[in-house]
Amino acid sequence: MRTSQFLISTLKEDPKEAAVESHRLMLRAGMIRQVASGIYTWLPTGMKVLSKVQNIVREEMDKTGALEIAMPMVQPAELWKESGRYTKYGPELCRFKDRKENEFALGPTHEEVVTDIARREIKSARQLPICLYQMQNKFRDEIRPRFGVMRGREFLMKDAYSFHMDKESLNKTYQDMYDAYSRVFTRMGLEFRPVEADTGSIGGNHSHEFQALAEAGEDTIAWSDGSSYAANIEMAEALAPTYDRAAPGAEYSEVATPGCHTVDEAAKALGIESNQVLKSLIVHGDKKEDGTNELVMLCLCGNQELNEVKAIKIPGIADPLEMATEEEINNFTGAHTGSLGPVGFKGRILVDRTADKMANFACGANKTGFHLINVNWDRDVPKYEVFDLRNVEDGDPSPDGKGTLHLRKGIEVGQVFMLGTKYSEAMKATVKDENGKDIPMIMGCYGIGVTRAIAAVIEQHHDERGIIWPEAIAPFKVAIIAIKPSKSQEVKDVAETLYADLQKAGVEVLYDDRDERPGVMFADIELMGIPHIITIGEKSLKEGMIEYKLRKTGNKENIPVKDALKTIM
């Protein structure tokens, strides 16, 4: 590509509206332009990066065996009413009517539409498992669109949805997606960390987010360097006020309301022996009618012989995949619906069910500060303890006792969810089992914020001169800068020849033939983040040399003209 034929839309001045580096650099490098709040056009330079990222995502999705489809952005309200989310989703869902007064919504996510496809197209259990994905614009009327495409209102998401007969199959696809996400973000050059996450308005009972580490991130993640523990502190956001009532190291029973405070009590309520295995423990904060928060406790207990899992006193939602009825889910005013509103409870802790010594912690933040709370349950010590770890700093010991806890800001670039049968039950997406009985399909869903991930890459890869693209997603791999070609036929010839050779070799090259002042051309090319820069000027050509610069390190060297191709490839 010649710059004379390309749209170089670089800005010399810093745009005032940009509060983070990625937004500033995407505007300055001419990648994006705002059309309305949270709504952007991708210009040619940006589009080149976007297509590369899309290709990576597509390649990795295809490798898992997922099948690409394209669903509409405009979705009939009927489907959302069937799932129950039409009223629950809140003002982020953009609702409208067509000329015939039919109600519609702009898709913020596609569980309803894809579940409708599945119930029509999948007739037999033999067709399962199946995973469908798309890359498509979503619309969410975010309360605070900001940071450019990092929190847009219209943004590109890759969303995938899987359908299964049994949980083993879901587990496998979940793991395949988790691995594919790790490959996607690695190929994009992101430093990231998968963390346990809240399931928000999507629902489900088990979820991980992929967090790109960056100071500009809106999320805070806590991770231990001595165990696999990592979580988004958003998980227990509004739990925090509740913990005000618990002094550090207090017995859990001091703050627990209903439920059981000792293993013996739990066992008695369940009618099991107290040495039987506690499988799962979920702690909820609940909002009472008077507006105060209350910590409630739910224990799911069972052992290998007990096939069913029972709950003790459920003032909130149980584990949907295991046991909660749709009614329980719908009636719960805490965790799930709370996360849809501007404030409210947003926490959930799922404890590793396979461990017999259980320890886990909830992390929360509220408007006034940052809190970490550890809820520890040990089978050998028949009591719960709450450790109030508020105001912990990076480098405290990890609450699970293993290693050191670290806090980092993160940008959520992807999330994988085990959905269970939330949508398939509500929308009757069933297949027949071997006995001819209709069974709701078990679902998973998996999202990547494609456009946000690009901003995250820039947050991690830039310097004072501009973006430093990882090669795999750079708009061009090489830039050729010709110094005053109008004054030197030799400069022009060498540049043209190199340009032709690079193109022949399949290298994406931007040939700056603008005949501008060198400083102007350098500034643009470096701002745009092109990894390899070759400068052709009369002076060095006299010695048969051209200048080669690696954007990442800033290293410059003169190389013989004939070595140019070899150096870059």
Nearest-angstrom CA–CA distance, 433 and 223:
42
Q: Which residues bind ligand ATP (CB under 6 A)?
A: 109, 140, 142, 151-152, 155, 157, 200, 202, 412-415, 447, 449, 451-452
Rank residues 16 and 144 by Cβ distance to Mg ion and give the closer one.
144
DSSP state at residue 322: T
Residue 211 found at the interface with Mg ion (CB under 5 A): no
With respect to ligand ATP, which residue has the nearer C-beta, 80 or 155? 155
In the complex, residue closest to Mg ion by CB? 415
Q: Which does 364 bind (CB under 5 to 8 A by kind): Mg ion, ligand ATP, none?
A: none
| Residues 155 and 141 sit within 8 Å (Cβ to Cβ) | no
Task: Output the smallest distance, CB 109 to ligand ATP, in A.
Answer: 6
Closest distance between Mg ion and the C-beta of residue 262, in Å? 35
Q: How far is the CB of 64 from Mg ion (least distance, A)?
A: 20
Least CB distance to Mg ion at residue 151 (A):
8
Minimum gap (Å) between residue 409 Cβ and Mg ion: 14
Comparing CB distances to Mg ion, the nearer of 202 and 296 is 202
Nearest distance, CB of residue 184 and Mg ion, angstroms: 16
Within 8 A by CB and 6+ apart from 493, the residues are: none
The Cα–Cα gap between 52 and 107 comes to 24
Pair 47, 545: CB distance under 8 Å: no
Instruction: Count CB-CB contacts under 10 A for residue 557.
Output: 10
For the CB of residue 43, give the shortest distance to ligand ATP in the complex, in Å. 18
From the list ligand ATP, Mg ion, none, partner contacted by residue 152 (C-beta under 5 to 8 A by kind) = ligand ATP
Our CB check for Mg ion shows the closer of 232 and 535 to be: 232
Cα 160–chain centre separation: 13
Stretch that binds Mg ion, among 100-108, 109-117, 241-249, 414-422 (CB under 5 A): 414-422
Question: 42 to each of 5, 30, 450, how far by Cα in Å?
Answer: 18, 9, 13
Helix, strand, coil % over all residues of the chain, rounded to 5: 30, 30, 40
**Interface with Mg ion, residue 207, by CB under 5 A:** no
Which of ligand ATP, Mg ion, none has residue 452 at its interface (CB below 5 to 8 Å by kind)?
A: ligand ATP
Partner from ligand ATP, Mg ion, none contacting 397, C-beta within 5 to 8 A by type? none
Contact criterion met (CB below 8 Å) for 479 and 525: yes
Closer CB to ligand ATP, 386 or 445, in the complex: 445
Closest distance of CB 130 from ligand ATP, Å: 21
Helix, strand, or coil (residue 502)? helix
Count the residues of the shown chain that bind Mg ion, applying the rule CB under 5 A: 2
Q: Which of 450, 455, 528 is nearest to 20 (CA)?
A: 455
Partnered with residue 206 across adjacent β-strands are 418
Residues in Cβ contact with 186 at an 8 Å cutoff, skipping those fewer than 6 apart: none
Query: Strand locations in 332-437, DSSP E?
Result: 357-366, 369-378, 381-388, 405-420, 430-432
Residue 151 binding target from Mg ion, ligand ATP, none, CB below 5 to 8 Å by type: ligand ATP
Strand order of the sheet with strand 293-301? 278-287, 293-301, 310-312
Among positions 415, 430, 488, 535, the unique one binding Mg ion when judged by CB under 5 A: 415
* 46 vs 217, beta carbon nearer Mg ion: 217
Write 250-253 long-range contacts (CB < 8 A, 24+).
Answer: 250/385, 250/386, 250/388, 251/383, 251/384, 251/385, 251/386, 252/297, 252/375, 252/383, 252/384, 252/385, 252/386, 253/383, 253/384
Return the number of the residue (71 or 296) whose C-beta is nearest ligand ATP: 71
Least CB distance from residue 453 to Mg ion, whole Å? 13
Nearer to ligand ATP, 340 or 507 (CB): 340
Q: Which is nearer to ligand ATP, 149 or 362 (CB)?
A: 149
- 3-state per-residue secondary structure call for 262-279: CHHHHHHHHCCCCCCCEE
Q: Which residue is nearest to ligand ATP (CB)?
A: 449
Which residues in this chain contact Mg ion in the complex, by CB under 5 A?
412, 415
